[in-house]
Amino acid sequence: MSIQITTAFVEQYSANVMHLSQQKGSRLRPAVSSETVTGKNAFFEQIGATAARVRPSRHADTPQIDTPHARRRVSLVDYDWADLIDNEDRVRMLIDPTSPYAQAAGFAMGRAMDQLIIDAADGTAFTGVDGSTSTAFDSNNIVGVQEGISPAADTGLNVGKLRAAKEILDANEVDPEESRFIVLNAKQLKNLLAETEVTSSDFNVVKALVQGEVDTFMGFKFIRTELIGVDSNADQKVLFFGQDGIKLAVGSNPVARISERADKNHATQVFYSMCIGATRMEEKKVGYITCDPS
């Protein structure tokens, strides 16, 4: 049984179970390519670019243009969550905690999904026929911490860094029709808003973004989460990517079960599980912006 459940007893001030501040579920799942798979490992085929040949003469032999093929491997991981609610707790509480417990489990599963996607963005991808070849993140897709400011100094997110990220995707010929995303935290969103006060047009757009009036700026859709990582210098990594650049493989969507546990004095167990995996599908489509956290 959760030792924290006594905080909801009737002796407390509130008659309702309230969820403490937290990210409620996944925010990144709609932003990445997703596919249902079976088994512990899934493979995704890829076709590379080819070049047309100039015909050397009339009636020349038909050319043999070998189309490059590649594949990515995703290893699925099982996630579990469970907690118990004793019958005595139901008596002491004004409401049945089962539903809030189930919600808390669902929130946790969603955050785990987002963390897996974020880790896969610049993690090692596995390629080759059997998925045993390690492919590293392309360091050319990193926007420096001093980008967009003069004189040079470590700085947070600014419009110059967004332009640099856009340039990387454009130079890599990422389809402009493909949705593009920026994953940032509250600190870097604040930095972006403060930096753009010098240009009223940018400021007005970003201010509308913060207020939820628009969700796109400079071709990017913005997703805020506090789950983004840091690099070896403790600078925050604001991710940017094309939607097809990251793949979420779903072996089993989050499944909830609420049942009685006879081995636990017939306490009610709230149980959640899921089976998922994620990988970077193409180096050219994924990068991050290095941002000073101060």
In the chain (294 residues long), the average pLDDT of successive 10-residue segments reads: 54 51 86 91 81 86 80 93 84 68 88 96 92 94 95 93 97 95 93 71 69 75 94 97 96 88 90 94 97 94
Q: Which of 127, 76, 85 is nearest to 105 (CA)?
A: 85
**What is the Cα–Cα distance from 102 to 106, expressed in whole angstroms?**
6
Residue 11 CA to residue 162 CA, distance in Å, equals: 52
DSSP characters over the chain = --TTGGGGSTTSS-SS--PPS---S-SSGGGSEEEE--SSEEEEEEE----PPPP-STTPPPP--PPPEEEEEEE-EEEEEEEEE-HHHHHHSSS--HHHHHHHHHHHHHHHHHHHHHHHHSS-EEESTTS-EEE---GGGEE-TTTT-SS-------HHHHHHHHHHHHHTT--TTS-EEEEE-HHHHHHHHHHGGGSHHHHHHHHHHHTTS--EETTEEEEE-TT--B-TTS-EEEEEEEGGGEEEEEEEEEEEEEEEEGGGTTEEEEEEEEEEEEEE--GGGEEEEEE---
Q: Write down the pLDDT at residue 150.
A: 87
CA distance 65 to 48: 12
Please report the pLDDT score of residue 157 as a whole number.
95
pLDDT at 13: 41
pLDDT at 4: 61
- Residue 11 is predicted with a pLDDT of 47
Instruction: Tell me the β-bridge partners of 73.
Output: 43, 126
Return the number of other C-beta atoms located less than 10 Å from residue 164's C-beta. Answer: 18
Give the chain's domains with CATH numbers.
140-246+281-291 (3.30.2320.10)
